[in-house]
Structure 1
Amino acid sequence: MAKILAAYFNSAASKDRYRLRLESIGRFLTNEFATDHSIKYIESSNVFIVIVGFNESLDISEDQGLLGFSNTGKWYDEAVYPDGNFFIYRKSQGSLELISDLAGTRSIWYYKADEFFSFSSMQIPLILLKGDFNFNSKVVPWMISSGSLGPGYSWDKELSLLPRNTSLKFHLTTREICITKITRLSVSSISNKKSLLKKFNEILSESISSLNISPQHTVHLLSGGLESRLLLIFLAIPKKLKCVTWGSIEAINSKKSDVGIAKRLTDRFKLDHDIYTLDEPALKPQFILDEFLKYGEGRVDHMYGYLDGFKLWKSFARKNIHTVIRGDHNFGRYKSPSEKMVRKAIGCEFISDVEDKILIEARILQNVPDWLLKEKYESNLDYADRIGIDFRHPYINSALNDLKHCFVEVNNPLMNNRLVGFSFSIPNNFSQEKKVTRDINGRFIREISYAKPHSSESLNSVLSGRFKGVLLEILKGATKEDLADICLDEMFIQGIIKGIESKSATHHDRGVSNFIKKLIPKRLKKRGTAFKRNKVPEIRLAFRVVMLLNMARKIRGIMRNNT
């Protein structure tokens, strides 16, 4: 339930020379967060630590800290690399060590200067400490194509992201950084289904039994899908956790939506269940956008779950909810008919994947690391598994988790190191279509189906409605200097504006079209996706450009006002 900035200076004199910058960090964090969150400082002669969203249950000091969950109380021991999902730092006599979990479920940036070493779960305070802002142009094509900052990039080109499954040691005397991988898995595939299911049950049960869960301070985020049902069976029902589901008003009134299915499940097992609506028509779109950028620092464009201006998450904090149980997983993916569709499903689309006239004419160059490319003899399922663990979890899911960390801790039991490691042993014929998870769920709950998505429940439709006006206003108000600052040209922006306005002029009712789509069998829809044109709707492009514009402006404004 916290975000952290920590700086370790060479000496007390070094820290004193940075006093004004440390004060500017304090001013920024107070202005940004103090209304809704507790802020705590931990300082000594050469150490400065500030925690946003502080709670007395946190185990954080000058010498060690745990954000997240560990399966052992001895995580601070130099020889221990625990299971769980977490970020850990621990200081010994000779070094400061940063540790990430196997899937990179928490994002930590670090920066080394001549007089200090610093790490943070927030980019802006680290940029303030650094003292200048060097916009990273590499994030631009990734935000345009995938709605994220891309593979390990940050807003400032001089900040580094701690990789997943990593121990980083900063040696206090030599000031050298040594980075090593923690877990080197030797995985053998389990081809017998009965043995596989037995092993999965065993590891899942052991993993969950090691969790220190306080039912009065914990809620289970229950959707109508597979993974949240698995955790309902193994965790929420045994611990009698309260369940929470949210959705649009339309979804709440549908028996087949996430809300409808979740209600049937909680009614059957007699669990407390709170239902929240994301519809807050009184909130101004600009306010919602500002809150989204404040808590997520513009790292990912998945704004749909925060259209209430974080009202849900603020209510958790007020009700003394410390932890939410979330069902991220690594136990199988749906079969994709093409390499491009694999990347689209993972949230890792390239500029070259998008067959869009506006993007083609813009000629935006993108740096794609070789490891993100499909290998010559790699199947689509193997490719999906690989970039799922190497891209989706550490760059998309971690960004989604960070949106909530000022309010609550996010516990992903299915992302514990041991379970993620076990997922690598599941062969494709069992992992495809999430067969293993379906099989285990089916042994406990057969008569309640999974939720069916609603066609209107999409960010694009919300952007085209409530947010279109403010997005167009921001784009039309952008100067050539604004666009040059984020490495985009005026013709690209005008193409987006024209596309949005032309669609508005020719808008027609899509109800019949959506009704016909629902009648098409799922297997035929999947075959059709192989030939479907990959296109980012103009309204989504507009939103992504606005995120780039607003974050660049925000960071530059904060630097001017606080330095």
Structure 2
Amino acid sequence: MAKIFNLYYSSKSDKSNVRSLISKIQDWFEENYKDFEISIFNFDNQFRVVIGKHHSLYLNESEGLLGFADSYRIEDPKHYPDGNYFLFRKTNEYFEIASDQGNSRGIWYYSNNDFFIFSSLQEPIIKLIGGFDFNSQVVPWMLSSGTLGPGNSWDKRLNLLSRNESVKYFYGSGNVKVDNILEVPTQNRAFKKKEVFRLLPEKLKSSFKNINLNAGNTTHLLSGGIESRLLLLFFAKEKALPCLTWTDPSSLSQPLSDVSIAKDISKKLNLAHSILEINFDSGNQEFILKEFLRHGEGRIDHISGYIDGFSIWREIYNKDIEVIIRGDHNFGRYKAYGFEQMRQTLGFELVSDYRNLSTLSLQNNIKESFTKRENETLEEYSFRLGLDFRHTYVNAALNDLKLSFTEIYNPLLNNSIILFSQTIPPSFLEGKNMSKSLNDSILPGIPYAKYASTFSINDITLSLLNEYLKTELSKIDSRVWSLMGIPQDLVKSTLYFLENSTGKTKSNSIIKSLIPKKIKKLLASKGKKSLSYGKIALRLYILSAMYTKLSKH
């Protein structure tokens, strides 16, 4: 349950300057996170800040592991345990930071001859090194996908630790070495579906049983989805964990909502189940958006679960629930009708995908590793993009939003589970059929949710946050839009749409959700569409607010 900032400084550094920088950063944390438990550590050549109740985590002067693993004996520089975590360790030659296979949390780093900094947050690094070198590559990615894009940070000087990656900073030279940790296993094309179906439960049980976790302060996040149920059956049920579902109040009476299905499952399995309602306060729009940026740094636009200003997460924090179990996974995606639609379903959306963005002078920077390989099938590309993009730049960003309040653990993303998933032919995993079949063999007769128990981003921006977004976007000087490289015509079109929007209701979302996914995807695959101006409005707000905030450093 923690976010971390760690500064290593050379023994040759100007001590007076170091003390001044440390004082500045400590003041910043104490001002910006005064409503959280903050721990300050001063070691030889190190300064560390930890936000949140970190007592269940493994941290000491020379090493630490944020997350959960089967072993915390990480002093061996060649050992990377099974689990779901970020680790760091200090040897006689270098300082190392390393990620897991699923990149469960965002860690940024910066180095020069005097410093090596790693942090869950970008802003304190920018504040320490001074100035702000805006990364214009985030603009097309935020507008098209609601993310910063692959490897991007707000400041060009910062690097994001990627999944399955080790970064070593060598003290003497100040050099940095970046390596992949584990080799990608070979796909077993000789696998039969029956064999995978037999092996999967064994792999889950084997990986889960060795993870060090205090069940007394842990809660399983239960939805009406496939992976949440899979984890319930193989993890939460075995440890008798209580379950939790959050929902908007209108979904409580809907029989096929996430919350209704979760109630049915927990009752059938005789597990404790609590419900937290997401209530929107119309008079608190500024607070809601500022909290969203404080905890996520504008890394993602998925605000639906946080329109209560993080009230339910603060309740979780105050109840000393130190660990939330989530069901992010690597066992297939729903079927897509073509490569473009598959890419968009995973959140890898481009400016060129949308009519009202493709005419602008903007272009996404796409690394070759994210493009389709020669002779790669739709299922293979989907599997690879889900792991390399979705987990690292969408799911990890969603985890980061909550890490000041509680620790997030995704057992289905343990290293050993991901490595096993990579040996399975992707065609076996299409439509999540493997996980669903396993669920239904153990707990038959309970349907899966037809729609989420939260508002869509479009509903939120066009009705709940409409007035505040209009006001804030109208305030931005045209020079700021120009400095960010955002066309004025897009801003004007968005403001016009907000001004003339009548908003949308939850009932519209419910009606849409009842249309079978297969039909919706088939319809969506026909031709290029326009991106909702409701989404564009929120994304413009994130871009302008973060640019303005970080420029002050």
**Does the pair score TM above 0.5?**
yes
Q: CA RMSD in A?
A: 2.0
Residue of structure 2 in register with 1:340 after alignment:
340
1:253 aligns with 2:259: no
CA distance in 2, matches of 1:459, 1:208: 34
1:526 aligns with 2:524: no
Residue of structure 2 in register with 1:158 after alignment:
157
1:479 aligns with 2:477: yes
Give the letter aligned to residue 217 of structure 1.
N
Contact 1:87 1:101 in 2 (8 A): yes
Secondary structure of 1:178 counterpart: strand
* TM-score, structure 1 as length reference: 0.94
Residue of structure 1 in register with 2:542 after alignment:
547
1:410 aligns with 2:405: no
Residue of structure 2 in register with 1:450 after alignment:
448
Give the letter aligned to residue 535 of structure 1.
S
Residue segments in structure 2 that go unaligned for 5+ positions in a row = none
Residue of structure 1 in register with 2:93 after alignment:
94
Secondary structure of 2:97 counterpart: strand
CA distance in 2, matches of 1:195, 1:13: 58
Give the letter aligned to residue 528 of structure 1.
L
Residue of structure 2 in register with 1:291 after alignment:
291
- Deviation string, structure 1 residues 376-410 (Cα, Å, up to 9, x no partner): 42222211111111111111111111111111111
* TM-score, structure 2 as length reference: 0.96
Give the letter aligned to residue 554 of structure 1.
K
Contact 2:353 2:528 in 1 (8 A): no
Contact 2:246 2:453 in 1 (8 A): no
Structure 1 residue 450: Cα displacement: 0.5
- Deviation string, structure 1 residues 32-75 (Cα, Å, up to 9, x no partner): 1112x111111134211111114333321221111111111312
Secondary structure of 1:352 counterpart: helix
Where in structure 2 are the equivalents of 1:129-168 lying within 5 Å?
129-168=128-167
Structure 1 residue 211: Cα displacement: 1.9
Structure 1 segments (4+ residues) deviating >4 Å: 507-515, 517-522
Q: 1:253 to 1:138 in 2, by over 3 A?
A: same
Residue of structure 2 in register with 1:128 after alignment:
127
- Deviation string, structure 1 residues 189-237 (Cα, Å, up to 9, x no partner): 3531221112111110011111223222000000000000001101111
Aligned length: 552
Structure 1 residue 512: Cα displacement: 8.6
Give the letter aligned to residue 290 of structure 2.
D
Structure 1 residue 311: Cα displacement: 1.2
Structure 1 residue 123: Cα displacement: 0.4
Residue of structure 2 in register with 1:423 after alignment:
421
Where in structure 2 are the equivalents of 1:59-98 lying within 5 Å?
59-98=58-97
Residue of structure 2 in register with 1:556 after alignment:
551
Contact 1:38 1:52 in 2 (8 A): yes
Q: 1:137 to 1:452 in 2, by over 3 A?
A: same
Contact 1:15 1:47 in 2 (8 A): no
Q: 1:57 to 1:251 in 2, by over 3 A?
A: same
CA distance in 2, matches of 1:247, 1:513: 14
Residue of structure 2 in register with 1:228 after alignment:
228
Residue segments in structure 1 that go unaligned for 5+ positions in a row = none
Residue of structure 2 in register with 1:210 after alignment:
210
Residue of structure 1 in register with 2:393 after alignment:
395
Contact 2:247 2:453 in 1 (8 A): no
CA distance in 2, matches of 1:43, 1:128: 19
Contact 1:480 1:489 in 2 (8 A): no
Structure 1 residue 16: Cα displacement: 2.9
Where in structure 2 are the equivalents of 1:191-206 lying within 5 Å?
191-206=191-206
Residue of structure 1 in register with 2:238 after alignment:
238
Structure 1 residue 547: Cα displacement: 0.2
Contact 2:470 2:499 in 1 (8 A): no
Q: 1:331 to 1:509 in 2, by over 3 A?
A: closer
- Deviation string, structure 1 residues 532-563 (Cα, Å, up to 9, x no partner): 54321001101000001111111223x2xxxx
Contact 1:64 1:91 in 2 (8 A): yes
Greater Cα offset, 69-78 or 338-347: 69-78
CA distance in 1, matches of 2:434, 2:350: 31
Contact 1:190 1:425 in 2 (8 A): no
Q: 1:293 to 1:555 in 2, by over 3 A?
A: same
1:538 aligns with 2:529: no
CA distance in 2, matches of 1:258, 1:503: 29
Give the letter aligned to residue 212 of structure 1.
N
Secondary structure of 2:14 counterpart: helix
Give the letter aligned to residue 181 of structure 1.
N
- Deviation string, structure 1 residues 248-301 (Cα, Å, up to 9, x no partner): 111122121000000001111111111011123355111110000000011000
